[in-house]
Amino acid sequence: MADVNRGNRPLSPFMIGSVYRPQITSVMSILHRLTGIGIGLTGVLVVWWFLAASTSPYYFDFADGLLTSWIGNLILFLALVSLWYHFFNGIRHLFWDAGKGFELGQVRTTGIATAVAAGVMSIVTITIALWG
Protein backbone atom coordinates (compact mmCIF):
# COMPACT_ATOMS: atom_id res chain seq x y z
CA MET A 1 0.00 0.00 0.00
CA ALA A 2 1.23 3.51 -0.78
CA ASP A 3 2.64 5.62 2.03
CA VAL A 4 -0.05 8.15 2.96
CA ASN A 5 2.37 10.36 4.91
CA ARG A 6 4.48 11.87 2.12
CA GLY A 7 5.73 14.86 4.01
CA ASN A 8 5.45 18.45 2.91
CA ARG A 9 6.26 18.10 -0.79
CA PRO A 10 4.14 19.53 -3.62
CA LEU A 11 1.29 17.36 -4.83
CA SER A 12 1.16 18.43 -8.46
CA PRO A 13 3.21 20.42 -10.97
CA PHE A 14 0.01 22.23 -11.89
CA MET A 15 0.20 24.32 -8.73
CA ILE A 16 1.38 27.38 -10.64
CA GLY A 17 2.66 30.14 -8.43
CA SER A 18 4.85 29.58 -5.44
CA VAL A 19 5.40 25.86 -6.07
CA TYR A 20 5.78 25.57 -9.84
CA ARG A 21 7.10 28.28 -12.14
CA PRO A 22 6.40 27.70 -15.84
CA GLN A 23 9.43 27.74 -18.12
CA ILE A 24 9.46 29.68 -21.37
CA THR A 25 9.73 26.42 -23.32
CA SER A 26 6.53 25.01 -21.84
CA VAL A 27 4.64 28.27 -22.34
CA MET A 28 5.82 28.55 -25.95
CA SER A 29 4.88 24.93 -26.63
CA ILE A 30 1.37 25.37 -25.24
CA LEU A 31 0.92 28.63 -27.18
CA HIS A 32 2.11 26.94 -30.38
CA ARG A 33 -0.56 24.27 -29.99
CA LEU A 34 -3.27 26.79 -29.11
CA THR A 35 -2.41 29.05 -32.03
CA GLY A 36 -2.53 26.05 -34.37
CA ILE A 37 -6.04 25.28 -33.15
CA GLY A 38 -6.97 28.96 -33.50
CA ILE A 39 -5.70 29.08 -37.08
CA GLY A 40 -7.78 26.01 -37.92
CA LEU A 41 -10.90 27.56 -36.40
CA THR A 42 -10.22 30.79 -38.29
CA GLY A 43 -10.09 28.78 -41.50
CA VAL A 44 -13.56 27.44 -40.72
CA LEU A 45 -14.73 31.01 -40.08
CA VAL A 46 -13.38 32.19 -43.44
CA VAL A 47 -15.04 29.26 -45.23
CA TRP A 48 -18.31 30.17 -43.48
CA TRP A 49 -17.93 33.78 -44.67
CA PHE A 50 -17.36 32.64 -48.29
CA LEU A 51 -20.28 30.21 -48.03
CA ALA A 52 -22.48 33.05 -46.82
CA ALA A 53 -21.32 35.19 -49.75
CA SER A 54 -22.30 32.47 -52.21
CA THR A 55 -25.63 31.66 -50.56
CA SER A 56 -27.62 34.89 -50.41
CA PRO A 57 -27.14 38.62 -49.90
CA TYR A 58 -29.05 38.48 -46.61
CA TYR A 59 -26.92 35.67 -45.20
CA PHE A 60 -23.77 37.47 -46.34
CA ASP A 61 -24.93 40.70 -44.68
CA PHE A 62 -25.40 38.75 -41.44
CA ALA A 63 -21.99 37.06 -41.63
CA ASP A 64 -20.22 40.22 -42.73
CA GLY A 65 -21.92 42.25 -40.02
CA LEU A 66 -20.78 39.74 -37.42
CA LEU A 67 -17.19 39.66 -38.67
CA THR A 68 -16.93 43.44 -38.89
CA SER A 69 -18.41 44.02 -35.42
CA TRP A 70 -16.11 44.64 -32.46
CA ILE A 71 -16.17 40.97 -31.46
CA GLY A 72 -15.46 39.92 -35.04
CA ASN A 73 -12.56 42.37 -35.26
CA LEU A 74 -11.20 41.04 -31.96
CA ILE A 75 -11.41 37.46 -33.23
CA LEU A 76 -9.69 38.41 -36.49
CA PHE A 77 -6.98 40.32 -34.62
CA LEU A 78 -6.30 37.33 -32.35
CA ALA A 79 -6.22 35.12 -35.45
CA LEU A 80 -3.65 37.45 -37.01
CA VAL A 81 -1.45 37.36 -33.91
CA SER A 82 -1.83 33.57 -33.83
CA LEU A 83 -0.81 33.30 -37.46
CA TRP A 84 2.36 35.37 -37.00
CA TYR A 85 3.26 33.61 -33.76
CA HIS A 86 2.79 30.19 -35.31
CA PHE A 87 4.85 31.26 -38.34
CA PHE A 88 7.82 32.52 -36.32
CA ASN A 89 7.69 29.63 -33.87
CA GLY A 90 7.64 27.28 -36.87
CA ILE A 91 10.87 28.88 -38.11
CA ARG A 92 12.30 28.37 -34.63
CA HIS A 93 11.37 24.71 -34.83
CA LEU A 94 13.04 24.42 -38.24
CA PHE A 95 16.29 25.60 -36.65
CA TRP A 96 15.80 23.02 -33.92
CA ASP A 97 15.29 20.34 -36.58
CA ALA A 98 18.69 21.36 -37.96
CA GLY A 99 20.20 20.91 -34.48
CA LYS A 100 20.69 24.62 -33.81
CA GLY A 101 19.66 26.71 -30.81
CA PHE A 102 19.44 24.11 -28.05
CA GLU A 103 21.58 25.95 -25.51
CA LEU A 104 19.52 27.22 -22.58
CA GLY A 105 20.29 30.87 -23.31
CA GLN A 106 19.49 30.42 -26.99
CA VAL A 107 16.17 28.75 -26.23
CA ARG A 108 15.15 31.67 -24.03
CA THR A 109 16.39 34.29 -26.50
CA THR A 110 14.67 32.72 -29.50
CA GLY A 111 11.47 32.30 -27.49
CA ILE A 112 11.39 35.99 -26.61
CA ALA A 113 12.37 36.92 -30.18
CA THR A 114 9.49 34.81 -31.50
CA ALA A 115 6.96 36.60 -29.31
CA VAL A 116 8.38 40.04 -30.13
CA ALA A 117 8.48 39.31 -33.87
CA ALA A 118 4.87 38.12 -33.79
CA GLY A 119 3.80 41.30 -32.00
CA VAL A 120 5.74 43.59 -34.33
CA MET A 121 4.49 41.89 -37.49
CA SER A 122 0.92 41.96 -36.20
CA ILE A 123 1.19 45.71 -35.67
CA VAL A 124 2.79 46.17 -39.10
CA THR A 125 0.03 44.12 -40.74
CA ILE A 126 -2.74 46.07 -39.00
CA THR A 127 -1.05 49.36 -39.90
CA ILE A 128 -0.82 48.38 -43.57
CA ALA A 129 -4.43 47.14 -43.57
CA LEU A 130 -5.77 50.35 -42.04
CA TRP A 131 -3.60 53.00 -43.68
CA GLY A 132 -1.83 51.08 -46.47
Q: Point out the annotated binding site for heme.
A: 86
Q: Which distant-in-sequence residues (6+ apart) come within 8 Å of 101 by Cβ?
A: 92, 95, 107, 110
For 63, residues 6+ apart whose C-beta sits below 8 A from its C-beta are 48, 49, 52, 53
**Residues within the annotated binding site?**
86
88 CB contacts (<8 Å, ≥6 apart)?
Answer: 113, 114, 117, 118, 121
